[in-house]
Amino acid sequence: MARRPRDVTDAELDVLRSLWGDGPATIRTLADSLYPSGGTSEYATVQKLLERLEGKGHVTRRAEGRQNVFSAAVQREELVALRLRDTADELCDGSLTPLITQLVSAGSLSRAELRELRRLVDRASKRTTS
C-alpha cells in the first residue's frame, strides 16, 4: 500500500511529536532530543525528515540569525482526522461508522470520554436535522 503524499512515516511522526510537545526547535535541538547519543548522521536524518515534513506542509521554518527554527504547521487532531479519513476511504468505502464502532467497542471509555462522545453525536444530529 503506497503512502499518500501528506501522510507521515513513523520517523516523521517522532519529529512532529517533539514539536507538538516541546514547541519550535532547531535541527540540533530536535536531533539531540530524538537521538541523545547521536552524531552527524542523526543530525542529517533530522534535517531530511524536516525537509520532507515541510514539503508536505506539516512543518514551517523561520530564520533566527544563522539557524532555522521549525514549528509544527499541523496539529495532532488534524493529522488524526486526515489518517482516519484515509482509512475510512481505503477500508470502509468512505464510511466512518465502522471505524467509530470498532474504536468504541474495542476500548474501555471513561465516563468523561462517553459524555464527550454523546455531546459530539448530539451536535452532529442537530446539524443534520437543521
- Tens-place pLDDT, residues 42-83: 999 999 999 999 999 999 999 999 999 999 999 999 998 888
Residue that terminates a domain, selected from 26, 47, 72: 72
Q: Over 80: is that where the pLDDT of 2 sits?
A: no
Dihedral of the alpha carbons of 38, 42, 46, 51, in degrees to the nearest 10: 160
Residue that terminates a domain, selected from 26, 53, 72: 72
Residue 100's pLDDT band (cuts 50, 70, 90): confident
Instruction: Examine the domain organization and report whether 80 and 68 are in the same domain.
Output: no
Instruction: Please check whether residue 99 is in contact with residue 87, taking contact to mean a CB–CB distance below 8 angstroms.
Output: yes
Inside any domain, residue 2: no
pLDDT score at 46: 97
The residue type of 60 is T
Task: Report the DSSP beta bridge partners of residue 68.
Answer: 63
pTM for this model (two decimals)? 0.77
> What domain count does the chain have?
2
Supply the DSSP symbol for 25: B
- Neighbour-count burial of 99, counting CB atoms closer than 10 A to its CB (0-12 exposed, 13-18 middle, 19+ buried): middle
Instruction: Examine the domain organization and report whether 63 and 117 are in the same domain.
Output: no
> What domain range includes position 15?
10-72
CA distance 58 to 71: 9
pLDDT score at 18: 97
Q: Over 90: is that where the pLDDT of 93 sits?
A: yes
